[in-house]
Structure formats: structure tokens, C-alpha cells
């Protein structure tokens, strides 16, 4: 998908979303090909993402609270 396509789907400003997507590229979660982005995590990222997904299914509120609390730290 392109940034514009994701922006429309998530109802987010494209500029804000670009920074998020670039950080996912930088950390190895997404792969950038031309102007499109593909989900392509490496083995370590895959394990972490799967664990987060499992925890989100079991303890959604705790995961959301953790993300929110840590997003305030910069």
C-alpha cells in the first residue's frame, strides 16, 4: 500500500503517517519498494509482533495503556 492509501483507510493525516511508516521501515517491520510499503518483518520482529498480538487478544486494555503511557516519553 502507499502512504496515501493507508492515510485514507485510517483517517490519518498523511504527514503524520509518513513518519510512523518510515520508523517501521527503519526498524525492519516494513519494506519500501518504490512508493509502496510491504509488511516484511525479520524473524526477531515477527516473534515480538506475534507476542504483542497474543497479549492484545488476552489483555487489550493493559496493552493500550502501556502503549499510551510510553508514547508520552520522548
User: Same structural domain for residues 35 and 3?
Assistant: yes
What local confidence, expressed as pLDDT, does residue 58 receive? 97
DSSP label at residue 29: S
What local confidence, expressed as pLDDT, does residue 61 receive? 96
Question: Are 31 and 38 a contacting pair, CB within 8 Å?
Answer: yes
Confidence of residue 56 (pLDDT cuts 50, 70, 90): very high
User: Same structural domain for residues 28 and 48?
Assistant: no
User: Same structural domain for residues 36 and 59?
Assistant: no
User: Same structural domain for residues 13 and 33?
Assistant: yes
Spatial distance between the Cα atoms of 69 and 62, rounded to a whole number of angstroms = 10
pTM: 0.67
Name residues whose C-beta falls within 8 Å of residue 7's C-beta, 6 or more positions apart in sequence.
Answer: 13, 14, 17
Q: Beta partners for 30?
A: 39
User: Same structural domain for residues 25 and 47?
Assistant: no
The boundaries of the domain holding residue 26 are 1-40
User: Same structural domain for residues 54 and 66?
Assistant: yes
Question: Are 30 and 21 a contacting pair, CB within 8 Å?
Answer: yes
User: Same structural domain for residues 25 and 45?
Assistant: no
Q: Beta partners for 2?
A: 36
What local confidence, expressed as pLDDT, does residue 35 receive? 87
Amino acid at each position: 500500500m502507499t502512504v496515501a492509501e493507508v492515510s485514507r483507510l485510517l483517517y490519518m493525516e498523511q504527514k503524520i503517517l509518513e513518519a510512523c511508516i518510515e520508523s517501521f521501515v527503519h526498524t525492519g517491520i516494513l519494506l519500501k519498494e518504490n512508493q509502496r510499503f510491504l509488511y516484511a518483518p525479520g524473524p526477531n520482529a515477527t516473534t515480538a509482533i506475534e507476542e504483542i498480538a497474543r497479549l492484545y487478544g488476552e489483555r487489550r486494555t493493559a496493552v493500550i495503556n502501556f502503549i499510551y503511557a510510553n508514547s508520552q516519553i520522548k
